[in-house]
A = this chain, B = another copy of it.
Amino acid sequence: MTTHHPFDQALALEPLAEGHYRGQTHPAYWNIVGPFGGVTAATVLRAILLHPRLLGEPLSLTVNYAGALSTGPFTVQATPVRTNRSTQHWNVSILQTDAQGEQVVATTATAVTAARRETWSLADTPMPAVPRPEQLEPVGSVGGVEWFNRYDIRPVTGAIPRQWNGQGDSSLTQLWMRDQPERALDFCALAAQADIFFPRVWLRRALHVPAGTVSITVYFHASSGQLHDTGTGYLLGQARAQEFRNGFFDQAVQLWNEAGTLLATSHQIVYYKE
């Protein structure tokens, strides 16, 4: 795929051998001390989707951030460890050479892809009634967080606190989002957008403490057909924490398209300090 969209540039992988790729961190998706975690999750998924032995479409993806990637090249190893009739199980790792010349594991991941059949289906989590994205203001830039400029983000509720006054009272964020510039939704973009929410601890406490995702899981409910129908439309994302305890909190996420189809659900466990 040749495209000039920065998301595709960031996900560009050069095949070295079957399931083995070389990539490169991209300044357009840089976070404070490494790439935006959503782009790392998308890179893991891209390596699977490029694999010649791929069966089906993404069903679940778990990405563990073992260490921040440094600026520069990295390698991705994606291995289908078991292929059943309709599901396939993947191990993926991202490795980088450290200052001592040693290969270090930066990211571990597992995934399941599945050849899905049409069955009885039921949408059991209606999209909340919220204003349309056109009625809301996009948030501006956040100093030093370059990847934030790659998304058009329009909060409904639970935006980043304007005052760090320790007076937070909820961990709920609802926001509309899409790639900026616009880009038709695919599985990699969906995985990335599952990780778009700032740390719940900032909102719940209205305190700006150090925090970072340790592990994220995404369950894909959408087919590629439903992603195609979503096109360049906005997604409504909802994120909420359940528990903050001794340095880690969890976050539960739902992502709907504008038509109200639940495309993915996601969870993560996040480190925080103090």
Contacts and interface: CB of A to CB of B under 8 A. Distances in A.
B112 A110 contact: no
A112 B214 contact: yes
Interface of A: 59-60, 62, 64, 66-67, 81-82, 84, 87, 89, 91, 93, 104-105, 108-110, 112, 114, 116-125, 171, 204-205, 214-215, 217, 219, 221-223, 241-248, 250, 252, 254, 262, 265, 267, 269, 271-274
A76 to B, nearest CB: 15
Closest 6 CB pairs of A and B: A66-B82, A66-B89, A62-B62, A122-B244, A116-B246, A125-B242
19 contacts: A66-B82, A66-B87, A66-B89, A87-B214, A91-B91, A91-B108, A110-B110, A118-B246, A119-B247, A120-B205, A121-B246, A124-B241, A124-B243, A215-B217, A219-B267, A221-B248, A242-B254, A243-B265, A265-B267
Contacts of A241: 124
A121 B209 CA distance: 13
A21 B245 CA distance: 32
A252 B267 CA distance: 10
Count copies of this chain in the complex.
2
Contacts of A81: 66, 93, 105, 108
Contacts of A123: 243-245
Contacts of A66: 81-82, 84, 87, 89
Nearest to A86: B247
A190 to B, nearest CB: 14
Contacts of A223: 246
A248 B118 CA distance: 10
Contacts of A250: 219, 221, 265
A222 B214 CA distance: 17
Which of A104, A117, A124: most chain B Cβ within 10 A?
A: A124
Given A91-B91, A246-B223, A214 B59 contact: yes
